[in-house]
């Protein structure tokens, strides 16, 4: 038999995938934090409630929040959700009248003040590159 075959199998099936998973999670968290920080800077600051309500979470957004973006699920079903708004930023009683949506897209009587899509378009390439770079680095480090 070939020497070291068991060690190679262990690296390929356990060590490398776990290392890649760990760094991918951290890179995704950092990317979500960067997008949220830029969104908060661009959000209108009339009362400050909208900017304070912008955040990210693993899984589903809190009740009453407008989901702005979701990542693809990881192998364990983890999904990062970026959201804005909560019960305090509702305009009326219907969920589609969330202040976050009205500010992003505007209405016929109010000009739009976009904060999500400009942030995402600006940082999308950087976030994806960071995740890919960290994954490659983890594979190289774990393969040593």
Mean pLDDT by 10 residues, the chain (144 residues): 71 78 92 95 86 90 83 81 78 66 86 90 94 92 81
pTM to 2 decimal places:
0.80
Q: What is the pLDDT of residue 26?
A: 94
Q: What is the pLDDT of residue 90?
A: 63
133 is written with which tokens?
A: 């770079």
Query: Residue 125 in contact with residue 113, Cβ under 8 Å?
Result: no
Q: What is the pLDDT of residue 91?
A: 66
Q: What is the pLDDT of residue 131?
A: 92
CA distances from 72 to 22, 55, 62, 79 (A): 16, 18, 19, 6
Q: What is the pLDDT of residue 82?
A: 92
d(CA 103, CA 49): 12
Q: Which residues contact 131 (CB under 8 A, 6 or more apart)?
A: 24, 27, 28, 31
Query: How many residues are recorded in the chain?
Result: 144
Q: What is the pLDDT of residue 102?
A: 82
Q: What is the pLDDT of residue 97?
A: 66
d(CA 6, CA 12): 10
Query: Three-state DSSP class for 118?
Result: helix
Q: What phi, psi does 57 have (nearest 5°)?
A: -150, 160
């Amino acid at each position: 038999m070939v020497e070291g075959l068991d060690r190679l199998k262990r690296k390929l099936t356990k060590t490398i995938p776990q290392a890649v998973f760990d760094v991918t999670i951290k890179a995704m968290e950092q990317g979500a934090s960067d997008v949220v920080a830029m969104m908060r800077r661009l959000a209108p600051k009339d009362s400050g409630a909208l900017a304070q309500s912008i955040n990210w979470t693993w899984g589903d957004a809190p009740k009453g929040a407008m989901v702005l973006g979701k990542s693809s699920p990881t192998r364990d079903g983890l999904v990062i959700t970026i959201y804005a708004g909560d019960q305090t930023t509702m305009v009326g009683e219907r969920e589609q009248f969330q202040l976050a949506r009205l500010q992003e897209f505007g209405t016929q009587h109010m000009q739009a003040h976009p904060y999500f899509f400009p942030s995402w378009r600006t940082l999308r390439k950087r976030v994806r590159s960071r995740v890919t770079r960290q994954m490659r680095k983890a594979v190289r480090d774990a393969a040593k």
